[in-house]
Amino acid sequence: MTEFSGADLPPDLQAEFRLGIEQYNRREFFDCHESLESVWKQYLETDRELIQGIIQVAVAYYHLERDNFEGCRKLLTRGLGRLRKYRPSHLGLNIEKFVAKVEDDYRLLESEGCPEKERFNVPKLQFISHQSDC
């Protein structure tokens, strides 16, 4: 089984894209923002909006860690608006599952305003694995 790792991106951007996703998954949201912003600035195709959406969700969770619930809500709104366009998958990522879980966190924020941070279920971004049918 091999993992797909943003192979639709130009080869010179794939490693940094993967690093940004790994940073997000480790909850290193500031570093994720920096890595993916670098990819976003260099990748000028129309689907770069997906990268921007991931950045916005990362920054939203960064705000959440700092009890900035309003900043979190605003950035989740913007990020989800961009990410939904790329369901079910794009750039080797499972966008459908990610969006569904981020939407759960958004609903929690909307219904309770300032819920306990432990109640959020910060989702991971998963690369789609391709395996042989043999």
Tell me the CA end-to-end span of the chain in Å, nearest whole number.
11
Distance, in Å, from the CA atom of 10 to the CA atom of 5, rounded to the nearest integer, reads 11
What pLDDT shows up at residue 38? 97
Q: What are the tens digits of pLDDT across the range 35-81?
A: 999 999 999 999 999 999 999 999 999 999 999 999 999 999 999 99
Domains and CATH numbers, the chain: 11-115+122-127 (1.10.3450.10)
CA angle in degrees (0–180, nearest 5) for 42-87-16:
30
pLDDT-derived band at 116, boundaries 50, 70, 90: confident
What does the mean pLDDT of the chain come to?
91
Enter the pTM of the model.
Answer: 0.91
Strand bridging mode 89-90 / 2-3:
unpaired
pLDDT at residue 4 is higher than 90: no
**pLDDT for 132 beyond 50:** no
Place of tokens 């490693």: 15
